[in-house]
Amino acid sequence: MLVPDVETPVLSSDARHHLSRVRRLRDGDPVSVTDGRGRWRWCAFGDALSVEGPVVVDDRPEPSLTVAFALVKGQRPELVVQKLTELGIDEIIPFVADRSVVRWDDARRDRNTERLSTVAREAAQQSRRT
């Protein structure tokens, strides 16, 4: 699970709900937490996460990979971001191409950027990216 700080991991209410209701973890079950910057550690699930092991630092793969993709209709941008995140791409840049049908105004851009960030975070957790 993604947490802001691996040294003192605290789960968000959404993450806690996911682990307890969807994944059906019980008190004491192991959970790996990461800050999304290559640092992770094992914790035990409960009312508060209890630290079970040392912080492990994974080296970033070199070179850093960036992929840009033209905006497409429907839910396709979410699928693109999800799969690229699962593949380990470091930076994903959506752009409007000359022949793109899709155009995002400011309000839509902000809303979609937030949604794509959520999709990337969930995909990183699904693929156990650190």
Does 33 map to a domain?
yes
Q: Is a pLDDT exceeding 80 seen at residue 130?
A: no
pLDDT band, residue 37 (cuts 50/70/90): confident
The reply to whether 75 and 107 lie within a common domain is: yes
Q: Is residue 19 part of a domain?
A: yes
**83 and 51 within one domain:** no
117 and 84 in a common domain: yes
Regarding whether 87 and 43 lie in a shared domain, the answer is: no
44 is a domain residue: yes
- What confidence category does residue 26 fall into, taking pLDDT thresholds of 50, 70 and 90? very high
Tens digit of pLDDT for each residue in 55-70?
888 887 789 899 999 9
Residues 116 and 73 both lie in one domain: yes
Mean pLDDT within 28-51: 89
- Answer yes or no: is pLDDT of 23 > 70: yes
Q: Domain total for the chain?
A: 2
Closest CA to 70 of 39, 48, 101: 101
Q: Which domain holds residue 29?
A: 13-57
Same domain, 40 and 92: no
Are 113 and 76 members of one domain? yes
pTM for this prediction = 0.71
- Asked if the structure places residue 4 within a domain, the reply is no
Tell which residue, 67, 74, 85, 75, has the closest CA to residue 127: 85
Query: For residue range 67-126, what is the model confidence (pLDDT) as tens digits?
Result: 999 988 877 999 999 999 999 898 999 998 888 888 888 888 889 899 999 999 888 888
Contact 39, 54 (CB under 8 A): no
Winning range, highest mean pLDDT, from 39-43, 47-51, 121-125: 39-43
Residue 24 counted as domain residue? yes
